[in-house]
Chains A and B, each alone.
Chain A
Amino acid sequence: EPEVTQTPSHQVTQMGQEVILRCVPISNHLYFYWYRQILGQKVEFLVSFYNNEISEKSEIFDDQFSVERPDGSNFTLKIRSTKLEDSAMYFCASREQVIFYEQYFGPGTRLTVT
């Protein structure tokens, strides 16, 4: 069964450093998402991406964040200058064209900012 994959599974970085989280969505999916979950809190939407551009973003997704689909398979989330409060699980998700809310999530990347 096809699945969304994410790398790395755990990333430790120092405050102020740039990090790139990588995702490989399911191959025939067209919509891509990033969510995050701070430990013990709710899953929060960050950004959606379709047709090579951001289609929607939350208030969390400020200028420190960016997304890219550099090739036909990868989907990345970059945090330019990490802060302690960026420590969280980051989930990538993708979906097909038609069913808006049937999304397939990856296993997540645990980001720890020290």
Chain B
Amino acid sequence: DAKTTQPPSMDCAEGRAANLPCNHSTISGNEYVYWYRQIHSQGPQYIIHGLKNNETNEMASLIITEDRKSSTLILPHATLRDTAVYYCIVRYYGGSQGNLIFGKGTKLSVKP
């Protein structure tokens, strides 16, 4: 599986967009980019995933560069409740039985 690199921490002002980057330069053609987050010590929460097109859902948008070597998760209007650790995970769509490999992620702090 492709290795991902994320900044260890980021700050964002409440109400502003939070843009969380992820580098995955060794991603292969059949690997998807998944984003999860973990609020405090709660169970991780699925946010969004994509292959090569930009994706949007009610939580966030995912922008994947054309060469697929990096992506950005966008929380359009961050709130205090978005303070969490955000994980970028790259996995082959049909690989194994779906176990997730978590890195250290980016700790996002949303400040009032």
A residues with CB within 8 A of B: 4, 31, 33, 35, 37, 42-45, 48, 50, 55-56, 58, 89, 91, 93, 95, 100-108, 110
Contact = CB atoms under 8 A, between A and B. Distances in A.
B100 A103 contact: yes
B99 A48 contact: yes
B49 interface: yes
A43 B38 contact: yes
A101 B32 contact: yes
A105 B43 contact: yes
B41 A89 contact: yes
Contacts of B102: 42-44
A101 B49 contact: yes
18 contacts: A4-B43, A31-B97, A37-B41, A42-B102, A44-B102, A45-B99, A45-B101, A48-B98, A56-B96, A56-B99, A93-B44, A100-B98, A101-B98, A103-B44, A104-B46, A105-B43, A106-B43, A108-B42
Interface string B5-45: 00000000000000000000000000010100010011111
B41 A100 contact: no
Interface in B25-78: 32, 34, 38, 41-46, 49
Interface residues of B, number: 24
B45 A105 contact: yes
A45 B98 CA distance: 10
Interface in B95-112: 95-104
Contacts of B44: 43, 91, 93, 103, 105
A42 B43 contact: no
Contact of A42 (B34, B94, B99, B104): B104
B98 A95 contact: yes
